[in-house]
Amino acid sequence: MSPTLTDMTPTADCLFCAIIAGDEPATWVLSTPAVVGFLDVRPVFKGHVLLMPRQHIDTLTELPDQLVHPLFADVRRTAAAVRDGLGAQGTFVALNNTVSQSVPHLHVHVVPRTRGDGLRGFFWPRTRYADAAEAEHYATRVRTELDCQRRG
């Protein structure tokens, strides 16, 4: 039987399920009935967002058809919001599928990019936010742009 949008049972020992349930902290940028987005705590560049289905799904190949559109429509919207809200020239959108997937819960990376930013190939140097206030500043900029898109 295929999972449904209302089947949002968290999986034990999944960090992202714990964040979605509110049991672990995160700096949120997006929350819809099917999809959530929050800042990566170790961003490639500040403003790096992770988007995922609320429902625990391990990999892209297991993503039910009814979640493909909600997830990737929100990825597309967030890519524009990260670009425009953070003044980036573009974004890097990536999805690891099992290999290099640090948390076994399907998630899509949306990373702000500018020419000459130093990102080469698939070597992703990581950074940290100075504190929760700095993370919230980046999240607010992306949320504001998402709200503008929704109204516009």
Q: What is the tens place of the pLDDT at every residue in 108-123?
A: 999 999 998 888 766 6
Helix (H) or strand (E) holding 20: helix 15-21
Would you say 56 and 109 are in contact if contact means Cβ atoms under 8 Å apart? no
19-24 LR contacts (CB < 8 Å, sep 24+): 20/52, 20/54
Q: Is 15 left (phi over 0), alpha (psi -120 to 50) or beta?
A: alpha
106-143 as b/e: b if 16+ CB within 10 A: bbbbbbbbeeeeeeeeeebeeeebeeeeebeebbebbb
Crossing angle (nearest 10°) for helices 65-86 and 132-151? 110
Nearest to 90 by CA among 65, 69, 112: 112
Domains, the chain, ordered by start: 15-151 (3.30.428.10)
Write out pLDDT tens, residues 98-109.
777 789 999 999
Nearest to 137 by CA among 29, 12, 15, 14: 29
Write out pLDDT tens, residues 52-73.
999 999 999 999 999 999 999 9
Q: How far apart are CA 123 and CA 104, in angstroms?
A: 20
Q: What predicted TM-score, i.e. pTM, was given to this entire model? A: 0.82
Nearest to 47 by CA among 84, 102, 73, 95: 84
Using pLDDT thresholds of 50, 70 and 90, give the confidence band for residue 5.
very low
